[in-house]
Amino acid sequence: MWISNAFAQAPAAATDSGGLMSFLPLVLMFAVLYFIMIRPQMKRQKETKAMLEALAVGDEVVTIGGIMGKVTSLKDALVTVEIASGTEVQMQKGAITTVLPKGTLKSA
């Protein structure tokens, strides 16, 4: 005939290396993911939360949109920022990204 018969191969010798060795790559991938992605993100969130809680009237800040100004009033979740003399903008606290050192902004 044109097609030869297929015969099953004998099973390979079983090497039982245990359950731990089969999970080792998974555990290593999670450890690398934790130290490269999760841990730095948690640290950054903690620093941002501390910065927003320490925000005070008179602090010079930068917003998400890149607007720089001085904090004139604080409420629970709102901040009023003076971006020019006589021009105040009200925004959420979460919109503040950086608190600048005192004296960074020059009054015109």
Which whole-number Å values give the CA distances from 92 to 63, 76, 83, in the listed order?
10, 9, 15
pLDDT in tens, 2-32: 777 777 676 666 555 667 788 888 999 999 9
For the stretch 50-76, pLDDT in tens is: 999 999 999 999 999 999 999 999 998
pTM score > 0.85 for this model?
Answer: no
Give the CATH class of 56-108: mainly beta
d(CA 96, CA 104): 16
CA gap 10, 71 in Å, rounded: 78
Alpha-carbon distance of 8 to 57, in angstroms, equals: 81
Domain ranges of the chain: 20-54, 56-108
